[in-house]
Amino acid sequence: MSTMVVQIRRKGVITLPVEFRNRYRLGEGDVLTLQDLGDGSFLLVPSVSQVANLGDRVAQVIREERVSTDEVLQVLEEERERYYREHYAKA
């Protein structure tokens, strides 16, 4: 465990040291959850986006299955059309 000092600036802005941002792959726009431990201390916990997780899983399957981008787009288009017919097309 490492300890670093940070300073609260105007409007409550805290800059995380670059070592932490790099180590945990944090960047602009990432969301952190602030957990109050109740004794004057708190934790900042990165909140990983579900979209990012799903995107990583899709990318992994595409690599493993050796599926082309064109194949993925074709299947997505077919699914979109099927969904539209099932939910919006008049019978």
42 with 67, same domain: the answer is no
User: What is the pLDDT, as a whole number, of residue 80?
Assistant: 93
User: What is the pLDDT, as a whole number, of residue 37?
Assistant: 92
Number of structural domains the chain divides into: 2
| DSSP per-residue letters across the chain | -------B-GGG-BPPPHHHHHHTT--TT-EEEEEE-SSS-EEEEEE--HHHHHHHHHHHHHHHHT--HHHHHHHHHHHHHHHHHHHTS--
In a domain, 3, yes or no: no
User: What is the pLDDT, as a whole number, of residue 9?
Assistant: 94
List the pLDDT tens digit at each of the 91 positions of the chain.
678 888 999 999 999 999 988 988 888 888 888 899 999 999 888 887 677 778 888 889 999 999 998 998 999 999 999 999 999 987 6
Range of the domain at 75: 50-87
In a domain, 57, yes or no: yes
What pTM was estimated for this model as a whole?
A: 0.47
